[in-house]
Structure 1
């Protein structure tokens, strides 16, 4: 068969060939092409050493990305392509990185160090498809299988355990029995893997078409304790509530699959009921209740996401979505709607509604979400009117208030809160002169309370 790759890749391969060297596309791009998926990256390997590559591509713009490990980046038509020397790897350190890499002229040596058979495929037009470890057969069987001894592969690099789960989830493949057993057997080696690396794999699992597949697989392999251990407490936890016909974990998986592949939304779906086991009570009729679980879940979410080194913006968004996922929208006045939007944040409100709809879909017989849709219509009307919603929308700021003679400090914030409350009630007040007039009329002592 012939693989059609971008013109830029052809230029790189032809340049290598023209100088008497071998070059191949390798790994995930070959796998994805054979699966009729569009490759995200086109990785190239070669028998040329790094120094030889610098000479071969002297007429190109080259970035010595990881030249110590045999990789340079070649820029063709303003696109970047990594080209790596065939290599073998010496003893691994801390079950993650090789202590040393050794360059080789033999493609087989390079392919046999790779993680899974479906990633150990190489191709060029001259030699065709190189499949030394039955990767094509495993693609046809929809199977994730290690190259060589799976116990050795995971001992070398424990992150491959999570990569196996990620590929199985993303591709909707099964895991080979021996590979599965080795993943389970070697799971404690994940203690040696950085939280950042674990987070990267978890994110890719969560953003797959059906993320619950990956989370279930983590559970089956007893890997949750190395990723999100708090989820374990939800498994099999019966809710004893007439609105639910699933335990907390199964409900969570349903909600997760009913959200779009957006990171903060998927994380919030995974964590929205994480607080339930800690506040479970039953009434005199034996009906289960989870009073305060949203607030507890918000606190647990922050702890979990910080442990996985997520960025502050993601953490804040997920916390808000988890904390307010039980919010009801029986607001009588537009002012209340505006205050709620301001509290949740305009950048989170759409995601909150999507989470709530997914949450309803995960309940018994799927409760309706008419009031959510009604609230969406109301807040969209408010947005269309372009009415002020937050401090930044006010026509005066803290500096303006200080010019009226107020000293910097708590009083400035309290005055701004007072003004925003007035403007939410009556948008016509959002005029500099009117706001200044309001400030001059404020009873400051009653606003901030008299000091004792």
Structure 2
């Protein structure tokens, strides 16, 4: 196994001072199945935390209560953790205490899955007490020991099993899968931040559909995204759709490029359809206003999952605008679209709209429409014409000074009015012209 020099330094320092030490976990797993070189190398040792600290010039006691010390080598941090066994788990999240032990096997026995319970150093080679190598060969996710116990210790492991399954294209072993179904309600004890992190990793995997289907089949979806659970099996009763809402959403997410906010927008773009469902006199289903209602519902979900404010803003814009495919794009209408969405987000919108079309029936004409709007957008952005208030030849200070006004909402309204004019006719974007327009409209 390739070992970076800094990691070798840590292993050799521990060895030369009489301690055992091994690389452990995900870096070995990824190396064994031929993924790109690992970025993170975790180390386990029989040295106690204070002994680790004494051996290295720079350390950070990042998790010293649980035996973890971060060793800093050449500016990079490496987690070094003392062999341990976990005490009782009372909250399905973390042990009440840990006990340091001298046995590598005892330490590996507490880990989640066999493929993560591998250890390696250059003297002993690969250490595999629980059949992790065989499970890697057979593409199996299997809990170490008794799966019910593993999931009761830390309920997040259920999501991790599904995430690894999607990322590696592995199957979850039958007994492990049954234990996830039996313990699904325990996910309610896990923090929303930890759930968000696992969900996000699933969404940017190469097998997102499998992950979301597993969340549904194990009933974890009911607890982490109940709003999406409602879409399962929901017949759209519309000739433009050949899938129920949930399967349509899965298809859209899969067709989106694997960029996180874009895939989250794909996940949420039709989240309000069940709430907006109506049937007309012909028996055809409609979802009027589901884009606007979806913005409200999306914000509720994203805030519950503790997404950052910028991501929430961007995802809401994509959800709100996903239906706005311009059938007859004029320069002015495309400029207004760019202004509403933002030049930094507009091409993500087109990607979402294409994915939405590909996940529906009769998509060829819709994709052609999106292509036309995108082509015109590229031309408009390249021409550097004004697209937002900040591109105007006047600003709020100019209006205040010219017309002896006070700062307030009226200034903003004036600038928005000017932008509408300039979007229609960019030649008006001259300071004197704009001031004259304001004089005629508001002052005279």
TM range (shorter): over 0.9
Aligned to 1:443: 442
CA distance in 2, matches of 1:214, 1:177: 16
Aligned to 2:122: 125
1:7 equivalent in alignment to 2:5? yes
CA distance in 1, matches of 2:136, 2:254: 25
Aligned to 2:315: 318
Map Cα deviations across residues 200-240 of structure 1 (whole Å, 9 max, x no partner). Answer: 11111111112111100000001111211111121111222
1:352 deviates by: 0.9
1:74 equivalent in alignment to 2:71? yes
CA contact (8 A) 1:331 1:337 kept: no
Aligned to 1:16: 14
**How many correspondences in the alignment?**
441
1:92 deviates by: 1.5
Pairing of 1:359-374 with structure 2 (within 5 A): 359-364=356-361, 366-368=363-365, 369-374=367-372
Shift in CA distance, 396/96, structure 1 to aligned 2, threshold 3 Å: same
Map Cα deviations across residues 375-424 of structure 1 (whole Å, 9 max, x no partner). Answer: 11111111001111111212332222222211111111111112212222
Aligned to 2:387: 389
Gaps of at least 5 residues in structure 1 are: 446-452
1:44 deviates by: 0.9
Aligned to 2:41: 42
CA distance in 1, matches of 2:364, 2:247: 17
CA contact (8 A) 1:74 1:80 kept: yes
Aligned to 2:244: 247
CA distance in 2, matches of 1:333, 1:436: 27
Aligned to 1:450: none
1:300 deviates by: 1.4
1:365 deviates by: 5.4
Gaps of at least 5 residues in structure 2 are: none
CA distance in 2, matches of 1:166, 1:242: 34
1:159 equivalent in alignment to 2:187? no
Aligned to 1:259: 256
1:443 deviates by: 2.2
Aligned to 1:376: 374
Normalised by the length of structure 1, the TM-score is 0.94
1:296 equivalent in alignment to 2:296? no
CA contact (8 A) 2:25 2:116 kept: yes
1:66 deviates by: 1.9
CA distance in 2, matches of 1:284, 1:65: 64
Map Cα deviations across residues 318-371 of structure 1 (whole Å, 9 max, x no partner). Answer: 111112111121345312211111112222211111011111111125434111
Aligned to 1:136: 133
1:250 deviates by: 1.3
CA contact (8 A) 2:314 2:345 kept: yes
Aligned to 2:426: 427
Aligned to 1:211: 208
Aligned to 1:181: 178
Aligned to 2:145: 148
1:263 deviates by: 1.2
User: Residue 285 of structure 1 aligns to a residue in which SS?
Assistant: coil
1:428 deviates by: 2.9
Map Cα deviations across residues 137-189 of structure 1 (whole Å, 9 max, x no partner). Answer: 11111111111111111111111111111111111111111111111111111
Moved over 6 A (4+): none
CA distance in 1, matches of 2:436, 2:443: 14
CA distance in 1, matches of 2:182, 2:126: 34
Of 24, 30, 33, the residue aligned with 1:32 is 30
* Greater Cα offset, 118-127 or 41-50: 41-50
CA distance in 2, matches of 1:199, 1:154: 18
Aligned to 1:172: 169
CA contact (8 A) 1:398 1:412 kept: yes
CA distance in 2, matches of 1:223, 1:367: 36
* Greater Cα offset, 334-343 or 210-219: 334-343
CA contact (8 A) 1:202 1:227 kept: no
CA contact (8 A) 1:88 1:110 kept: yes
Map Cα deviations across residues 28-61 of structure 1 (whole Å, 9 max, x no partner). Answer: 0010100101223111111111111111113xx3
Aligned to 1:407: 406
CA distance in 1, matches of 2:163, 2:329: 47
CA distance in 1, matches of 2:443, 2:435: 14
User: Residue 81 of structure 1 aligns to a residue in which SS?
Assistant: strand
Aligned to 1:270: 267
User: What is the alpha-carbon root mean square deviation over aligned residues?
Assistant: 1.6
CA distance in 1, matches of 2:209, 2:329: 38
User: Residue 322 of structure 1 aligns to a residue in which SS?
Assistant: helix
CA contact (8 A) 2:329 2:372 kept: no
1:129 deviates by: 0.6
